[in-house]
A = this chain, B = another copy of it.
């Protein structure tokens, strides 16, 4: 048994869909969540910048003594997972591999579509992982940069979102795919609109669900599953939330996405978690 928390991070609130799945599937695990709201979004930024940001966040999470790290952001999983996994001595999992494995199992005709941010698509990571699972799979990818702002504007079922989805998915549909990976944490929130465009014949894969399942396997294998009990045998599972900007706004969004209140959100000056300097304890600029 190991009741140390799981570190989960994302560019902002989107990764809460993954944190929520972990809470649901692994209710004895405590979570330390970090959302990089000062530098969101990651989807349009370069690989090296995403690695720099991810390293700072991992340094921060390590100060919270996490026993494993989940990169709950597709772009950071695509660009930084390999590097981070080499640099730390605890298990690190991303959202891409679990999503890809499920898509590989779900497809009947071997033709899989992937929609995601520009960063995730141009990294080619979904394609690489899918081909490793089964070299005969055919992968068709499409970046959908407007989906995140449309979701954040609350236009989940709006005709405008339907029109944009129609344009983004038009080409993909012509390739006769039977499985579509929702390769960005925001996309499951417009699943119904996407379903309208693609019809009922296509399997939609939500990596958040699969990632929580993959995490369970990793914890089992390492023999570090939690039992959710404190030293006196009392129930003790706590979730802590940290952001780099606008803690209050995050708290409100978190309540919506998780469908439950969250204890508190704390603001962190993430830029100072660089190399091996001593971290002072001041919060982020949002708190001053």
Chain A contacts to B: CB under 8 angstroms: 37-40, 44-46, 48-49, 51-52, 145-146, 148-150, 152-153, 159-160, 163-164, 244-246, 271, 274, 284-288
A204 to B45, alpha carbons, bound, how many Å? 33
In the complex, the answer to whether B284 meets A246 with C-beta atoms within 8 Å is: no
A52/B285 in contact, CB under 8 A: yes
Cα distance A158–B146 when bound, in Å?
14
A–B complex contacts, Cβ < 8 Å, 17 sampled: A39-B39, A45-B245, A46-B245, A46-B246, A46-B285, A48-B285, A48-B286, A48-B287, A49-B245, A49-B284, A49-B286, A145-B149, A146-B149, A149-B149, A159-B163, A160-B160, A271-B274
List chain B residues, Cβ under 8 A from A37. Answer: 45
Across-interface contacts of A44 in B (CB, < 8 A): 40
A287 to B49, CA, bound (A): 9
Nearest 6 Cβ contacts at the A-B interface:
A48-B285, A149-B149, A52-B285, A49-B245, A271-B271, A46-B246
| B160–A246 CB distance below 8 A | no
CA distance A149 to B153 in the complex (A): 11
CA distance A269 to B100 in the complex (A): 34
Please report the C-alpha to C-alpha distance between residue A149 and residue B40 in the assembled complex, in whole angstroms: 14
Query: A153's contact among B40, B146, B152, B288, by CB below 8 Å, is which?
Result: B146
Nearest CB in chain B: distance from A76 CB, A: 14
Closest CB-CB distance, A151 to chain B, in whole Å? 11
Q: Which residue of B lies closest to A246 (CB)?
A: B46
Knowing that A46-B285, A160-B164 touch, tell me 20 more A-B residue pairs with CB under 8 angstroms. A38-B39, A38-B45, A38-B49, A39-B39, A40-B44, A45-B245, A45-B246, A46-B286, A48-B286, A49-B245, A49-B246, A49-B286, A145-B152, A145-B153, A146-B150, A146-B153, A149-B149, A159-B163, A160-B160, A271-B271
